[in-house]
Amino acid sequence: MATRISLISSGTERQLIDLAKASLAGKAMARPDLVRRVVRNIQRDGLQPTIEKVFAKLDTPIPLGYSLAGEVLEVGRRVGGVAVGDRLACAGAGLANHAEINAIPKNLTVAIPANVDDEDASFVTLGAIAMQGVRLAIPTLGERIVVMGLGLIGLLTVQLLKANGCRVLGFDPNAARVSLALELGADVAVSDSLTEAVVGFTNGHGADAVILTASSKSSEPINIAAEISRLKGRIVVVGLVGMTIDREPFYKRELELKLSMSYGPGRGDPSYEQGGQDYPLPYVRWTEQRNMEAFLALVADGKVTPKRLVTHRFAIAEAEKAYELMESGAPHLAILLTYPEAPKGPIERSIRLAPPPPKSDGNRVAFIGLGNYAKGVLLPALKKASKVALSTVVTSTGVSAGHAGEKNGFAVIATDPAAALADPETDTIFVATRHDTHASLAAAALRAGKHVFCEKPLAINAEGLAEVIAAAREAAGILTVGFNRRCAPLLIDAKKALEPRSGPLVMLYRINAGAIPGDSWIQRDEGGGRIVGEVCHFVDALTFLCGSLPIEAQAITARDHADAVSILIRFADGSTGTIVYTSLGDQGVSKEYLEAFATGRVVQLDDFRRLTITSGGKARVKKDAQNKGQRELVEEFLAATRGRRAAPISMAEIVAVTETTLAIEESLRTSDPAPVGDRQC
């Protein structure tokens, strides 16, 4: 999508900018919910890993913008009804950015009517937000409705209510905005004495509905809204206001309070927004996309005039001046950014920032995907290793690729994996994308002649695993999967303490995993679920500890808790391993606890901090800072790529561990033991 016009929503973007400028203490005060999450992570994972994750997250740039009009440059294979050259209005924070080119999912785009120009169409997101607030108020013809806050969304709300046949009173302390509201059709608009104005406007009955489009940390707006409402009135909160409610007026008037979900149903649902799965119209009449369409239809009919709200226009090359205007406090409403004509020819998907890394006996490394784990763990491990040069980084957006490239010293930034796969300067690729792409990317990198470090899991289904196995058979490169626990110093010590042994091991691994919301990407198709996505770690640790491949798995879940699983694994040497993986429990208890029993010996590993070895009635204890072996695995992988040692994980183990996670899922489906791969029990 080539952007023609994008709209700066000064309220929303000012909040983002202020938060970005705030100190750590300021950020913590603004988001106490995230502080609580950090504390829980420290209790579960330890201080250092949590710090690394937090700073990786804080270092992630947030693109500005979420409403634009543009022209289609390319269309995805599964997108119908759209052609190159079409004019579309687009929505979505992090998607419809202030950028010359954006990639927008289909459910966040709508066709622009022929008689609506790009400037009016660029208001589509704010229009949908205002539309959803009006819908929640359920206005009927002739009702008297108060709009508190006459910023962009408030002024659009006034026009929408008038188009719906309502009588409207607008309120804002800013006298200029009050005047504009009257020009746009408000029946009454005031900048003070709101209560008295509502008494006169409603003949003493109170407002049928109040729509709060103001922005304030104070709870005064919502409590005033209650005071000016009639008995059984309706209050809809659209803006960001304090929510400490005085019970008395709400109780005495039996008021209905609703909070508006931004653009409408579908907002925040990855299946709808990213996956393109629409809600059936008979059951969800007004989705965010249908709100966008309805808003533009009203603009086409001349009943809403967004362009009347524009006070400033800047070329995208002068965007900084627009934000300086916002910071200055000078009067403004809608600020538009204009763009040059759509580029001709192929779209550039990679940019060189620096000369090619020097050729040497070291590794020239590319990253496909650079999320928090890759930034916080894998990159620091690489930077501590010798003879490593960073060649290419590939991420889903140009903003994140550019930031990663400049900050970490990559020579090339890209949004297409082909830039790394086809690069002759790259000999090693780290795959750190979301789980559903691991297999195809790892296989493609192996076929391209690269060494591959693939974050776990290697594959989320049998088809993906088969593709990687086929590629690995023909490849000269080393393949390693991020099963780092086998490289943890205390687990290595535990294995040594159990050797030599003449019989099997009986192993118990308890993981206090904590809950992950059902709408997290990990729980959806792209994550593959927690068995494939995380339990693979613990299967590999047991495989390493007993030195034998798993051959059968059986699993059951606690009733109504899919993430509370008990798993029994049989190994080829007769050993057994029990994995208790639970989302129940309390985060005050350590995350991981492992016990292994051999003839005359027991090892107990508590959260990779404390190892107890008991033999002959005596216990020896080793303590260390928590270390799950991430850095050590990276070092062993690099050494293997340079021919100095064997691969840190054999292909047989990689395949068996992945097959075991698939067998666990099969056992959960059938309630029967499931063989691992083609091996017979």
Domains defined along the chain, listed by start: 2-30+63-122+271-338 (3.90.180.10), 125-260 (3.40.50.720), 350-480 (3.40.50.720), 485-675 (3.30.360.10)
| pLDDT given for residue 288 in this prediction | 96
| pLDDT given for residue 680 in this prediction | 35
- String of DSSP letters for 325-382: HHHHT---SEEEEE-PPPPPSSPP-EEE-SPPPPPSSSEEEEEE---HHIIIIIHHHH
Q: Is 497 helix (H, G, I), strand (E, B) or coil?
A: helix
- Scan for tokens 């409705």, then name that residue: 145
- Cis peptide bond N-terminal to 500, omega within 30: yes
Q: How many CB atoms lie within 10 A of CB 205?
A: 14
Q: At 269, list the tokens.
A: 């649902």
| pLDDT given for residue 586 in this prediction | 87
Nearest to 7 by CA among 98, 136, 135, 108: 98
Residue 78's φ and ψ, nearest 5 degrees, are: -100, 15
Residue type, 474: E
Residue type, 528: G
Report the C-alpha gap between 514 and 203 in whole angstroms.
56
Report the C-alpha gap between 648 and 657 in whole angstroms.
14
User: Could you give the C-alpha distances from 286 to 140, 270, 281, in angstroms and in order?
Assistant: 17, 17, 7
Report the C-alpha gap between 311 and 331 in whole angstroms.
9
Report the C-alpha gap between 553 and 543 in whole angstroms.
13
Q: For 103, what's the count of Cα atoms within 13 Å in the CB-facing half-sphere? A: 13
Report the C-alpha gap between 63 and 301 in whole angstroms.
33
Q: At 386, list the tokens.
A: 């010798």
| pLDDT given for residue 681 in this prediction | 30
User: Could you give the C-alpha distances from 293 to 156, 215, 290, 583, in angstroms and in order?
Assistant: 15, 26, 5, 42
Report the C-alpha gap between 488 and 630 in whole angstroms.
8
Q: Which ranges of the chain have pLDDT less than 70? A: 15-60, 359-361, 678-681
| pLDDT given for residue 353 in this prediction | 81
Nearest to 368 by CA among 346, 350, 345, 342: 350
Q: At 420, list the tokens.
A: 């790394």
Q: How many CB atoms lie within 10 A of CB 29?
A: 11
Nearest to 245 by CA among 231, 216, 225, 215: 225
Nearest to 393 by CA among 436, 358, 350: 350
Q: At 681, list the tokens.
A: 């029990």
Q: Is 213 helix (H, G, I), strand (E, B) or coil?
A: coil
Bridge partners of 389, per DSSP, are 364
| pLDDT given for residue 88 in this prediction | 98
Report the C-alpha gap between 393 and 414 in whole angstroms.
6
| pLDDT given for residue 63 in this prediction | 86
> End-to-end CA distance of the chain, in Å?
55
Contacts of 430 (CB under 8 A, 6+ apart): 365, 366, 367, 368, 369, 374, 378, 452, 453, 454, 455
Q: Is 148 helix (H, G, I), strand (E, B) or coil?
A: strand
Report the C-alpha gap between 299 and 202 in whole angstroms.
29
Residues in the chain: 681
Q: Where is 301: in which H helix or E strand?
A: none
Q: Which one-letter DSSP state was computed for residue 133?
A: H
Buried b (16+ CB within 10 A) or exposed e, 386-407: eebbbbbbbbebbbbbbbbbee
Q: Which one-letter DSSP state was computed for residue 279?
A: P
Q: Computed from CA positions of residues 477, 482, 485, 487, in that sequence, does the dihedral angle turn out positive or negative?
A: positive
Cβ atoms of 70 and 1 closer than 8 Å: yes
- Between helices 651-670 and 462-474, what is the axis angle to 10°? 170
- Between helices 124-137 and 152-163, what is the axis angle to 10°? 60
Q: Which one-letter DSSP state was computed for residue 644?
A: S
| pLDDT given for residue 107 in this prediction | 96
Q: Which long-range contacts (CB under 8 A, 24 or more apart) does 51-57 make?
A: 52/376, 52/377, 52/380, 53/372, 53/373, 53/376, 55/376, 56/372, 56/373, 56/375, 56/376, 57/372
Report strand pairing: 363-368 vs 428-431: parallel
Q: Computed from CA positions of residues 395, 397, 403, 405, in that sequence, does the dihedral angle turn out positive or negative?
A: positive
Report the C-alpha gap between 159 and 108 in whole angstroms.
23
Report the C-alpha gap between 534 and 256 in whole angstroms.
44
Residue type, 36: R
How many degrees, rounded to 5, is the angle at CA 133 between CA 127 and CA 134? Answer: 90
